[in-house]
Chains A and B, each alone.
Chain A
């Protein structure tokens, strides 16, 4: 046995960007390889579930798990990894908060399957074939994982020790988080690693041009204005979520000429990112007459869930569209 830190990486419902985030460590990967032994990483190394099952419990030092929990398979795998690991880290927005796949919680499972397999304009499926959990092929019974009713964040399924935020986490953040984890001086459980505990505005170069009190008469979508890249975007009427978002990304989007959409998630002690963001927006709208306010909101915030819960719907207080028996919406 080497004295290297034994690490596992796994993906659930994700786009692959978080895997890429590791590769983006570039030369630092080589340094990392001296300290770390990768025991499981399906995207890069051919290993199967049974290989993990054979490991003794808690024999993996750290498991980095990215992606939202969408399938029964994800649940099974993360529970297994939890058992085999000393420390579990939710890696990236989807594992942290549910992420983009979590927006699927605005629809029922049936609606999603129907759209994807029958109705989407790019689908040709004249026989109306739908995925089944069990199928017979040449007399053999094959099983497919079950689609869960709602997408979940990782800590809604297993106990999570730390979080690394971002969609995807930028290399600097990953590096800082790894340094912390490998230093042996572990921060309190539940900490968000590699990021700041202050808002994004706090580290934004444009913050000095942001007025003390912002009052907006009008909102603009980013494609409707020629953004002055040297002035706070919010002060120009473009909805930037910097004030309510955890800092640490180095203001990547701002530098790229786009407002922040909130991928680093809420600041400490905020339960519901979207509710907080919505509240913030309401507080900076400035109208003399309410009909005008309603009109602007109607026009520019047509999709508040998409605006405010882009990365965090599963971890919000409501978790998705209510599909109760109460009569409003049916699942």
Chain B
């Protein structure tokens, strides 16, 4: 890359009750995590539908990280199980679309500030290795 290193843009969907709180905890505890993440707060990971994930990628994200409460801990009881099922299906579809590596699902509880920082760093570095996505550009070029 000519202009220094590639800085991925990663969209993170974080549920209000666990993951967002965990990210917040990282912030208040001054745990460092990459600035590449753009965090979108949702009430529950079950709110994140495949259309939102695909739209994020189509609109310029290089990767998407879906986060939610650990299984059994969802504030709405079963929202994250729904997320998991959708994710299995979505992953299979993404594989066919050549985008499997660009999306990940992780459970982060309200007390896991450290874990959040690790997960975020790991994913951002993974996307950095893959390189820029530029989905719209690539898919509309001749």
A and B from one complex: yes
Q: Are B142 and A317 in contact (CB under 8 A)?
A: no
CB contact between B92 and one of A271, A275, A301 (< 8 Å): that residue: A301
Q: Are A279 and B50 in contact (CB under 8 A)?
A: yes
Find chain A residues with CB under 8 A from B98 CB. Answer: 321-324, 328-329
User: With A283-B82, A308-B93 known to touch, is A294 a contact of B88 (CB < 8 Å)?
Assistant: yes
Asked if B122 is an interface residue, CB under 8 A from chain A, the answer is no
Which positions 89-142 of chain B face chain A at CB distance < 8 Å? 89-90, 92-93, 96-102, 130-135, 138-142
CA distance in complex: A287, B82 (Å): 10
Inter-chain contact total with CB atoms closer than 8 Å: 113
Find chain B residues with CB under 8 A from A281 CB. Answer: 89
Find chain A residues with CB under 8 A from B50 CB. Answer: 272, 275-276, 278-279
CB contact between B142 and one of A149, A276, A279, A320 (< 8 Å): that residue: A149
Q: Are A297 and B101 in contact (CB under 8 A)?
A: no
Asked if A77 is an interface residue, CB under 8 A from chain B, the answer is no
CA distance in complex: A323, B97 (Å): 9
Q: Are A275 and B49 in contact (CB under 8 A)?
A: yes
CB contact between A322 and one of B81, B90, B139, B140 (< 8 Å): that residue: B139
CA distance in complex: A137, B140 (Å): 34
A/B interface sample: 28 pairs, CB < 8 A: A149-B142, A272-B54, A275-B49, A275-B50, A276-B50, A282-B82, A282-B86, A293-B88, A294-B88, A301-B89, A303-B96, A304-B92, A305-B96, A318-B54, A318-B135, A319-B140, A320-B97, A320-B139, A321-B97, A322-B98, A322-B133, A322-B138, A324-B138, A326-B132, A326-B133, A327-B131, A328-B101, A328-B130
